[in-house]
Structure 1
Amino acid sequence: MNGRLKTEKQTASLFFILEGSDSMVDSVNRMTGFASGMDINQMVRDLMDAERQPLQPMQQNAVETQLKIDEYREMNRRFSEFRNDTFDGVLRRSNMQSRETTSSNESALSASASAATPEGTYTISDAVTAKSERRTSDFGTTNGTGDGGSFLDDAGAFDRRSSFLTQADNVKGLDGTETELSFALAVYDENGDQQTTSFSFDATDSLDDIVDEVNRSGAGVQLFYDDFSGRMSMQRSDTGVYSEGGKEIRFGTMDGETFAEADDGALSTVFGFSNNDTVETEASNASFRLNGLDAVERRSNTFDVNGVTMTLNQDFTEEVQVGVSSDTDRIVDTVMSFVEDYNDMVETTQDKVSEEYFRDYAPLTEEQRRELSESEVELWEERSNSGLLQRDSILQGAISNMRSQFYETVDADIPNQTFNQIAELGITTSSDFRRGGVLEVDEEQLRAAVEEDPESVYQMFAADGDTPAEQGIARRLRDTLDNTITQIGERAGRTDLAANQSFTLGRELESQEDDISNFERRMQQVEDRYWSQFTAMEKAMADANSQMQQLMSQMGGGGQMM
């Protein structure tokens, strides 16, 4: 009897399992081999591993497509850098027609020249520097008291950073009833026209505020206060004579919008400046003898002579020679930098199109990567990333076009063009075709060409004609690179922001990803089918076992009844 009860309990437990126990059946009632005794999970995994075999190459192809996109974009970046750098290199006239100036006495006369300055020599002598007018305050002279030049009773007790009007007890020109200070001043422009500026200050303003406001106003003067003497000075910012027969700085007030020259503004009544005082330093123009011409004048000590900027640093009588010539070193350095950048770009491109492609080293999937060590991944990727642009038609075409452009003549539209072949500058392409046409330079020949005709050298690179034959080599290269960059952009996108549908490889990548997604969905269906089949088998076996147990139970029960 106990054996019969035990058998019935086992049968009940089996039926419980068949109904979906979480320990033996998953969320979709998948049987795990209780009835058959088989490892169903492992069997399904093994079957799915076989079914998923086509997925791995699909994933690897998608990874390789993305790697190609990245490689193309890196080449586009290199092309763009070289193309843009030519603007600041051989295409910039200031680099290729750079002028060098020399002075026989830099301390007396310094000079500089622009690229457009003609070469030549200048002789300057008997030079007197230009000066600006400077005026000083003298309160005793202004008010007629003869009690000293300071506008203060006690300069030592005066605080230049505190309110000026609240210190009226220490200011000779104030009686303590003033609520504001106002004045105006005038200077003359280069046409001799009077330019006026007015000022107004209240009790919140200090002397420092007054000085700063005048100096920052654009009035064309610099105001200065000396703590020790309690006096002020004012100097015109510009040197030279602008007011014919008169003083350069005038003091007064504003009558509406009209300047009234008078000694009744605060500059005179408070600080001691007067229109009638003796000028401390009179304004004067710079004067010198230039290439035999006497009494040449300029208002400023820095002036232009035929494009040469000269600066008189001091008075002198002896002759000073200023020479202007081509800056050969800078021009040669600019060309050599261009050649170096070009060769670097070409060698990088040539390396890409000739790089070995390892067919047996497909890109690693994430699952494969997890199975390898870090060093194994690094070695594998060194090969899997190699040769992705091998014999690429766009890159090979760019190298070929650029190389041929160095053989063609340049017919620049300039008179007496000395050079029209790049080889005449000592620049040739390498005879080793495997190097992609890198440039070789005879620097001595290049230097000689620059010294002979720098304009012709510049035009060899930068001529801007209507046809390729009339264009300089750098401009031809830029056109080739523009076309190459456009082609690569159509194939791989210009930047990371480009939508995949806008370029060829992007559309290919999306198609590959769609195929992977569709395959994954099919694999899910296949896996569900396997589980359905095994579950049906398990249920069938469980039903058979149950029936057998019931039959055995009934047969055993009948024997006891007998």
Structure 2
Amino acid sequence: MRLSGFASGMDINQMVSDLMQAERQPLQRMQQDQQELVLKMTEYREVNRAFMDFRNNTFDTVMRRSNMDVKQVTSSNESLVSGTANAGAANGTYTISNVQQLATSAYNFSSGEDGVDGDHGSIVIDGEEFDPNDSLLGQTDKLRDENITTDDTEIAFGMTTFDENGDRVEVEFSFDEDDSLNDMLDEINRSELGVQSFYDANSGRVSLTRTDTGTFNPEEGGNEILFGVFEEGETEEDEETFVESAFLTETLRFDQEKEVEAQNAKFTLNGLDGVERRSNEFEIEGLNISLHNQFDDPVTLHVSNDTDDIFDTVMGFVDEYNELIEMVDEKVSQEYHRDYAPLTDEQRREMSESEIEMWEERAHSGLLRNDRMLTGALDQMRQDFYGTVDSGDANQTFDQITELGITTTRNFRDRGRLEVDENKLRQAIEQDPDSVYQMFAADGEEYEERGIARRLRDTLSGQIDMISQRAGRSEMASNQQFTIGREIDQAEDRISNFERRMQQVEERYWSQFTAMEQAMAEANNQAGQLMSQLGGMGGGQM
């Protein structure tokens, strides 16, 4: 039980509070030290994320051959022939002439009976309203084909096309009385047949088209879309037979003989007559060619290195590297303000927002000043750039980064930031783009055999692991998995232990003041009794 100044008249609460404020002075420093560890961990992780981003990005820049061996294709007549080139395409000129025909797709459609006036191939009886989204078997009285009736419960048929190897692709379909014509056509479109079908309500006809251009049926002059499937004979000696699907030929009124034939593109390439391709877009040795029209006079496609794209890729890599160096250099060069420890919650409550902002700017500064891990990383990366690269190619044109016009600045305070002689870099790319690529991406077992980007990746991977051991990663489940995390936990334990001691000290103060109050109250009580007795004695003598 606490007594607060009833006997002494003193403000015991305030006295205990003042005493405890003095006792708790070391706690503020403990909390600031712990917060500084948290801030330092955050700084390390920021650097580590930058290291990881740069390391990962190298795969999509100077280490990707398609970025460093970019080709450009120029056509003498883009409206007739255009092209693009893969990285592996050889530089040179390709001439295309005498394009006799473009590649086209085979197609067929519902057709009427020859010589019958008014029969334009509609599958629907004239004057009837047929809904392609309603049950087909529920509308058989509206169809021209009298062999299909509402008593039927199933519609089954098969179709055959051919793949790129000339092998047959046979698909059999089965539908019930609830399926509509559009349901059937959608199923055909989704199948492996490689055809596109639709129903035209205005004409009442169905159209079928191969999705790929060119001829696939190995039989010369053979149809590309067959309205039926092949069945094997009963014995090995019996030949297979083609079974026509009545639903296709009678209900949908397709006529095998009326197929509009497909054709391959035919042209002359670099003097080779009679070259054929199934598509108007095709590849020859990494060159993708697109034919847009028929023509006779020669059209040339010129393949060359795209110096601008390669130049932009290298410059992007250099800029990103410089940004990384600048960011790390700022961390290790910032001034450290010893007198500006991180603010505690109590200190924040006593300061304005502008004061807090100014204080924290200094408190966060210089936490990684002259950090050995980071300065060591900067030194190693600078060494990675200046080491000779031996790609193992006897025809290698460049083996030093300076030969590409890339050097570090003369100011030693720049920590190895790069500068580029753009004219020299362009000349190197035009002279030997593959050697430029190898300067960055060469892969070998020895350090000298690895390109600059690979060396940097190895260096950064090692630094990332070291920083992770020191400052951890966000996905780590426990602070005990890294050094600063353990230090933070230890600081937390010291704070908790100090808080418990403060509770004991406060209890001791209250016990002492309570004992004082009790003693004074007892003394006051005794004095009162004595005065009462003395007063009684005086009254009797009178």
Partners in 2 of 1:322 and 1:301 — Cα distance? 15
The answer to whether structure 1 residue 135 and structure 2 residue 111 are counterparts is: no
What is aligned with 2:254? 273
1:82 to 29, 36, 54: 54
What is aligned with 2:410? 431
Structure 1 position 528, deviation (Å): 1.1
Bigger mean CA offset, 416-425 vs 188-197: 188-197
Residues 42, 273 of structure 1: CA spacing in aligned structure 2 closer, same or farther, 3 A cutoff? same
Task: Provide TM-score, normalisation by structure 1.
Answer: 0.91
SS of equivalent to 2:31: helix
SS of equivalent to 1:223: strand
Structure 1 position 189, deviation (Å): 2.3
2:129 to 154, 157, 162: 157
> Given residue 252 of structure 1, which amino acid in structure 2 is its aligned partner?
G
Partners in 2 of 1:122 and 1:368 — Cα distance? 77
Give deviations 1:401-438, integer Å, cap 9, x for gaps: 11122111100122300000001111001111111110
Partners in 2 of 1:458 and 1:408 — Cα distance? 16
> Given residue 146 of structure 2, which amino acid in structure 1 is its aligned partner?
L
Residues 498, 410 of structure 1: CA spacing in aligned structure 2 closer, same or farther, 3 A cutoff? farther
Unmatched 5+ residue regions in structure 2?
A: 235-239
What is aligned with 1:291? 270
> Given residue 161 of structure 1, which amino acid in structure 2 is its aligned partner?
N
Residues 116, 156 of structure 1: CA spacing in aligned structure 2 closer, same or farther, 3 A cutoff? farther
Structure 1 position 255, deviation (Å): 5.1
> Given residue 98 of structure 1, which amino acid in structure 2 is its aligned partner?
V
Structure 1 position 253, deviation (Å): 5.2
Residues 161, 188 of structure 1: CA spacing in aligned structure 2 closer, same or farther, 3 A cutoff? same
Partners in 2 of 1:147 and 1:505 — Cα distance? 88
Partners in 2 of 1:211 and 1:481 — Cα distance? 58
SS of equivalent to 1:324: strand
Structure 1 position 260, deviation (Å): 5.0
Give deviations 1:171-210, integer Å, cap 9, x for gaps: 1113523332222111122332222111222221222122
2:9 to 37, 43, 48: 37
Q: Is the 8 A contact 1:129 1:315 kept in 2?
A: yes
1:537 to 507, 516, 525: 516
Q: Is the 8 A contact 2:157 2:247 kept in 1?
A: yes
Residues 104, 547 of structure 1: CA spacing in aligned structure 2 closer, same or farther, 3 A cutoff? same
Q: What does residue range 327-406 of structure 1 map to in structure 2 within 5 Å?
A: 327-406=306-385
Partners in 2 of 1:148 and 1:72 — Cα distance? 79
Structure 1 position 442, deviation (Å): 0.9
What is aligned with 1:4? none
> Given residue 130 of structure 1, which amino acid in structure 2 is its aligned partner?
A
What is aligned with 1:183? 157
Q: Is the 8 A contact 1:183 1:254 kept in 2?
A: no
Residues 422, 365 of structure 1: CA spacing in aligned structure 2 closer, same or farther, 3 A cutoff? same
Q: What does residue range 82-481 of structure 1 map to in structure 2 within 5 Å?
A: 82-127=54-99, 128-141=101-114, 147-154=119-126, 157-175=129-147, 176=149, 177-243=151-217, 244-245=219-220, 246-252=222-228, 260-275=241-256, 277-279=257-259, 281-481=260-460
Q: Is the 8 A contact 1:267 1:273 kept in 2?
A: yes
Give deviations 1:378-407, integer Å, cap 9, x for gaps: 111111111000000000000111112211
**Identical-pair percentage:** 56
SS of equivalent to 2:159: strand
What is aligned with 2:479? 500
Partners in 1 of 2:118 and 2:357 — Cα distance? 94
Structure 1 position 33, deviation (Å): 1.4
Partners in 2 of 1:150 and 1:40 — Cα distance? 107
Partners in 1 of 2:455 and 2:37 — Cα distance? 32
Structure 1 position 444, deviation (Å): 1.2
The total of aligned residue pairs comes to 531
SS of equivalent to 1:406: helix
What's the C-alpha RMSD, in Å, of the aligned pairs?
2.0
The answer to whether structure 1 residue 55 and structure 2 residue 27 are counterparts is: yes
Task: Provide TM-score, normalisation by structure 2.
Answer: 0.94
Partners in 1 of 2:134 and 2:275 — Cα distance? 49
SS of equivalent to 1:250: coil
Give deviations 1:297-348, integer Å, cap 9, x for gaps: 1122221111111121221212111111111111111111111111001001
Partners in 1 of 2:105 and 2:233 — Cα distance? 27
Structure 1 position 516, deviation (Å): 1.3
Partners in 2 of 1:214 and 1:526 — Cα distance? 87
Give deviations 1:457-512, integer Å, cap 9, x for gaps: 00100111111111110111111111111111111112263521111111111111
The structure that has the greater radius of gyration is 1
Bigger mean CA offset, 97-106 vs 423-432: 97-106
Q: Is the 8 A contact 2:406 2:421 kept in 1?
A: yes
Q: Is the 8 A contact 1:125 1:320 kept in 2?
A: yes
Structure 1 position 140, deviation (Å): 2.2
Partners in 2 of 1:147 and 1:39 — Cα distance? 114
Residues 195, 308 of structure 1: CA spacing in aligned structure 2 closer, same or farther, 3 A cutoff? same
Structure 1 position 141, deviation (Å): 4.5
Partners in 2 of 1:460 and 1:257 — Cα distance? 66
